[in-house]
Structure formats: C-alpha cells, structure tokens
Homo-oligomer: A and B are copies of this chain.
C-alpha cells in the first residue's frame, strides 16, 4: 500500500511535470518536463566539472532496480486514464455504429411518433384521468389518519380502511388499463407506475403515523392533519414518510437549471436512440427469434445488449440524478441520496440495495424489518422482498402490455439464486463483473422476450 502510494506520488509528480510541459516556454518548464525522468541531470552544464557531475548523476540515475507498473509486485493501481479511454472508445465505436446505422436505415427519429405512444386519440386522455383520480386515495388516507389521531377511529377500523384504500389503489387502475382500449401500453405503464409510487408512499404514511401514535408524540396530530405537508411528501423524491424532512437552505438556481437541461437533453437522446438504434435491431431480431436460429439470436441479443444497456444507464442518470435532484432542489428536499455506488457492487445483493435507494429504504423500513420483528428469518424476509419487487415488476409490464408472460417476474426471482451464486463463488472485481454482465445481458433478454411475444401476438392478429 505504502509502495503503491509512493509509486503514485512519484508518477503524479512526473505527470504534473508532463502537464506543465509544452513546446512553447510560455506555459510551464518544458525542460523540467522533458527531463522529467532524470531531473538530477537538468543541471548538466557546459563546464567539465559540471558535465562530470551531470554524468555521475546520469550513470547513477539512468537505471535502477524497479518493477514494471503492470506487475502486481509494483502495487501500482492508478488507472484514472482508463475511464477517459472507455468514454472515448464508447463514443467512437458508437459514432461508427451510428454512421453505419444511418447509411443503412436513414433517419428514423420522429418526435411526433412519441406522442402516439401515449395517445391513440388526442381527445381522450385516459392515463391522465387515472393520475388525477389518485388524489382521491390521498384524501382518504389523510382523512383516516385525522380520525385516528382524533381517536374517533379505532386502530382496527383505521387499518381496515387503509387496507381497502390500498387494495383499490392496486386493482382499480389495473382494471382500467386492461379494460379501456384507448390506453396505450406506454400510457398505461406510466399511470400504473405513478399508482405504485403512491401506494408505497401512503403505506409509509400510515405506518409512520401509527408508530408516532404508539409513541404518542404531540406534533403528529398537528402534522397528520396538514394537507400541504402530505402533498409535499407526495411530490418529494422519497417513498419514506417522515414528520420533518431535512430541508436544504435555498434553491440553487444554477444547479436547478443544469438538472433541467440534463432532463430535457436526455429525454431527447433516449427517444432518438430508441427509435434509431433499438427499434431496428429489435425488428431485425424478430425473424431469427421465430426461426429459433441460435447463432443469429445470440448475435442479435448481444447487438441489442449494448444500446439497451446504454439507454438504461442514460435512463438511470436521467431519472435518479437529473429528475430527482431537480424535484428535490425545487422542493428544497435535503436528502439527495437517490442512489449509491452500485457501479462498484461486488454482489447482486449490493446492487439491489444501492441502485434505487428510495425503494430500498422503503423495503427496509416498511417490509423487511417489520417481517423480522414478526419473527421471520432473514432469508425468508429477503426472499419476500424480492417476491414483492418481482410482483410489481410484472404488474408494471404485463398489465399495460395486456399479456401475462411472467418474464419480468422470473427475471426478478432469478436474482435470488444469482445473488447466492455470485456471493458464494465470486469476489472483488469478478463479482463486480458478474453483476455488470447480469445487467447487460439480463435486461435485453427480457426485453426481447416481451417484444417478441408482443409482436407475435399482433402479427397473428393481423394475419387473422
């Protein structure tokens, strides 16, 4: 370790010299830079004595026993440059793919088409109506809490009302999406996601209020009544209700505008890349999938993996960094931990615990720990969490697509054995690589499954 830091220090010094180097004396000491690797010799002057000294140092300086940086023995580990390399490589190879794609398909980007994903008929906005109806459920929850805090509802009654409220929150929108033909898959999925989020938020709301009553703290009564506060919670980028959220002192305008710009930019980019890059690949992979031509299927899967993964990364940044920070900044919501360093995760478990902190916090606080308290074992509780997550994944995909294939469900449940295998057999960077692979390969696989089934379904219908 000391060794490595020493190496790094020296290399940093050299690089510093290199940085200040240039071909014009204008900036920095080119000599110091150019003679970086033998600074002792810089003094090598014209006089004999001087030359001798410089020569002595030269000889002592020219070679010395040392390991190559890439030898494990050197303890060197500064690969900062690789990050830039990977960015450059990705940009270039994708620039190439983009050009090839353009030469083959021409321009497929069509922003108007996006609207058609949300609306069949511009005069009916079923998804939007669904979203507006959400307020009902909020009001019911608040009303119940008020009665409970006043004591005019018994705990049991309150519990029953909350349960029915939530049960309806899950079933009603699903029924609407399934039965109303004018709802598009995308519109339906958006509406259901919003309902799911609200479900989790209100669940947390009722739990926390109950806990507070158990603690019989005074301020609960006041807060439980304030509608403004619960609406703040509904819009705040968190799923865990609290009586006093940490607030940031002021809205940083520059920050807000940067995030807003990112949001707009990535929205455009996501749409464009999907239309120009994803769709052609998916369409071209339908035939191999139907013929079950394995080698071509694999080729298509891997071809899809890259854009799919990049889009997912962009989506992650767009949603968890740009959008959530934007909302938080707007609401002066203090806690910006929307994700953790999942990119370093060496176990599947660590990934699921850290890529989506709001959901993780909720599961921990309102599902996993209550289960533990009820005396369930850790494995059972953890599996239950994955089961819940699997249910919601399936719920958010199958219902809008109006087909029940359980791919997403199985995909999530497959995380359990995967997590066990990785945690059991792979450590450090191998574990990390395994997590990445499962992400990069797993997703497009599920996507292909659904899209394929969806296409087949619709082709068949057209055929009939």
Interface residues, chain A, with chain B CB atoms under 8 Å away: 11, 14-15, 18-19, 21-28, 30-31, 33-38, 41, 44-46, 48, 51-52, 54-56, 58-59, 62-71, 76, 78-90, 92-93, 95-96, 99-100, 103, 208, 211, 214-215, 238, 240, 242-243, 245-248, 255, 295-296, 298-299, 302-303, 305-306, 309, 317, 320-321, 324-325, 334-341, 343-347, 349-350, 353-354, 357, 360-361, 364-365, 368-369, 372-373, 375, 378-379, 382-383, 416, 419-420, 423-424, 427, 429, 431-433, 436-437, 440-441
Which of B19, B305, B369 sits near A35, CB closer than 8 Å? B369
Main secondary structure on chain A at its contact with chain B?
helix
Verify B18–A321 contact, CB threshold 8 A. no
* A343 nearest CB across to chain B (Å): 4
Verify B382–A214 contact, CB threshold 8 A. no
* A280 nearest CB across to chain B (Å): 15
Verify A340–B11 contact, CB threshold 8 A. yes
Verify A419–B339 contact, CB threshold 8 A. no
Please judge, given known A-B contacts A299-B100, A306-B89, whether A354 and B14 are in contact too, CB under 8 Å: yes
* A75 nearest CB across to chain B (Å): 13
Verify B51–A373 contact, CB threshold 8 A. yes
CA distance A19 to B59 in the complex (A): 49
Verify B420–A22 contact, CB threshold 8 A. yes
Verify A92–B336 contact, CB threshold 8 A. no
Verify B240–A321 contact, CB threshold 8 A. no
For the complex of A and B, the 3 pairs showing the least CB-CB separation, nearest first, are: A18-B350, A96-B302, A86-B86
CA distance A41 to B303 in the complex (A): 45
Verify A246–B65 contact, CB threshold 8 A. yes
* A218 nearest CB across to chain B (Å): 15
CA distance A416 to B30 in the complex (A): 13
Please judge, given known A-B contacts A83-B79, A321-B68, A343-B82, whether A419 and B22 are in contact too, CB under 8 Å: yes
Which of B28, B334, B424, B427 sits near A65, CB closer than 8 Å? B334
* A338 nearest CB across to chain B (Å): 6
Verify B34–A92 contact, CB threshold 8 A. no
CA distance A309 to B305 in the complex (A): 22
* A109 nearest CB across to chain B (Å): 18
Please judge, given known A-B contacts A19-B350, A27-B424, A369-B41, whether A211 and B66 are in contact too, CB under 8 Å: no
Verify A71–B336 contact, CB threshold 8 A. yes
CA distance A31 to B69 in the complex (A): 40
CA distance A92 to B439 in the complex (A): 12
* A67 nearest CB across to chain B (Å): 5
Residue of B nearest to A245 (CB): B63
Give 24 CB contacts A-B under 8 Å: A15-B346, A18-B353, A23-B379, A25-B378, A27-B424, A33-B349, A37-B364, A44-B372, A52-B214, A59-B243, A62-B240, A62-B242, A62-B365, A63-B335, A68-B325, A69-B339, A71-B336, A80-B432, A81-B345, A85-B343, A85-B436, A89-B436, A92-B306, A100-B299
CA distance A92 to B369 in the complex (A): 39
* A78 nearest CB across to chain B (Å): 6
CA distance A55 to B243 in the complex (A): 12
Verify B353–A37 contact, CB threshold 8 A. yes
Verify A433–B84 contact, CB threshold 8 A. yes
In the complex, chain B residues whose CB is within 8 Å of the CB of A375? 46
Residue of B nearest to A424 (CB): B22
* A16 nearest CB across to chain B (Å): 10
